[in-house]
Amino acid sequence: MKIIYLGDISGRSGRKIIEEKLPEIKDKLKPDAIVVNGENAAAGYGITEKIANSLFDMGVSVISTGNHVWDQKETKSYINKEPRLIRPINFPSGTPGKGSAIYEDNRGRRMLVINAMGRVFMDPLDDPFRAVEEELKKHRLGSTIHFILVDIHAEATSEKMAMGQFLDGRVSLVVGTHSHIPTADAQIFDGGTAYQTDAGMCGDYNSVIGMEKDEPISRFTKKLRGNRFTPALGEGTLCGVFVETDDKTGLAKRIEPIRMGARLIETFPTI
């Protein structure tokens, strides 16, 4: 299978660059499925039903989230009726929504997407390693499932890397989100799992991780909270990864980063 994963959508700039570039990506790479992290899509804080539906209309298969998943009040009810929108699997039992989703492509191949959230410098949720392990007991890569993607939404690079190595040979792709900065370590581990510590943000990089500069700088330099963080609205850059797997095993044959847009050096897979 060929899968496109796009990192955290940050506000209007992120949504706009995806709308502009996704047709070209689909035309050139012909992905079997597209997954995005949408937890900052609504002006930097959560996601709404309207925004989620617009992403699905663009061809997105599954939307993952993270620590901002509940920032929009409507999400608590919407997520229960929309199985393609998932929240971290290690939220406590009884939390609305689900932490995984299965998508079937037009050839009958099935992709499992699992969303997990780290605990280092983050909210103290349940153990993400154990939660992912329990979910994997229900499925078998290369048999019942053709592609398994794990979005590890975490602050610490060590925790993301540990999750990748923990799952090596058992999933197709482990990709990190949350830090909004694309890392340069796209690779395939010894067991055949594709990995990148952070996919990066889809949004305005002339910012402080997607937010207008003044307020974050003021908090760092003056140690005073002033106004609410607001998303930067300049021209966006799209960041993500392209992964191709062997249908017989579900393991990765290829991973390449994608960067398209205004500010970062562009890179695109060669087909």
The pLDDT score that the predictor gives to residue 150 is 98
Give every residue of the chain whose pLDDT is below 70, as ranges. Answer: none
Number of Cβ within a 10 Å radius of residue 158? 12
By annotation, the residues acting in catalysis are: 68
What pLDDT is stored for residue 262 in this prediction? 84
Query: What is the Cα–Cα distance from 99 to 115, expressed in whole angstroms?
Result: 6
Listed residue (78, 79, 89) closest to 112, CA to CA = 89
Structure-token pair, residue 77:
């009810």
**Domain 2-261 -> CATH class:** alpha beta
Greatest distance between any 2 Cα atoms in the chain: 57
Rounded Cα–Cα distance for residues 242 and 18 (Å): 15
Query: Helix-strand-coil percent breakdown of the chain, rounded to 5?
Result: 25, 25, 50
Domain locations in the chain? Answer: 2-261
pLDDT value, residue 83:
97
CB 172 within 8 A of CB 252: yes
Residue 185 pLDDT: 98
Q: Looking at this protein, which amino acid is placed at residue 63?
A: I
Adjacent-strand bridge partners of 104 = 110
pLDDT at 100: 98
Q: Contact, 131 vs 116, CB < 8 A?
A: yes
Nearest to 172 by CA among 20, 15, 5, 10: 5
The count of other CB atoms within 10 Å of the CB of residue 86 is 23
Q: Are 142 and 250 in contact (CB under 8 A)?
A: yes
φ/ψ bin of 79: left (φ > 0), alpha (ψ from -120 to 50), beta (otherwise): alpha
- In whole angstroms, what is the distance from residue 173 CA to residue 195 CA? 6
Rounded CA-CA distance 260/98 in Å is: 31
Task: Pick the closest to residue 41 from 190, 261, 156, 201 (CA basis).
Answer: 201
pLDDT score of 271:
79
Give the integer Cα–Cα distance in Å for 257 and 116: 21
Q: Are 191 and 169 in contact (CB under 8 A)?
A: yes
**Joined tokens for residue 230:** 């607001």
Distance CA 236, CA 206 (A): 9
Position 120 scores a pLDDT of 97
The pLDDT tens digits of the residues spanning 224-237 come to 887 889 999 999 99
The pTM of the full predicted model, rounded to 2 decimals, is: 0.95
Q: Which amino acid is at 151?
A: D
CA distance linking residue 67 with residue 13, whole number of Å: 20
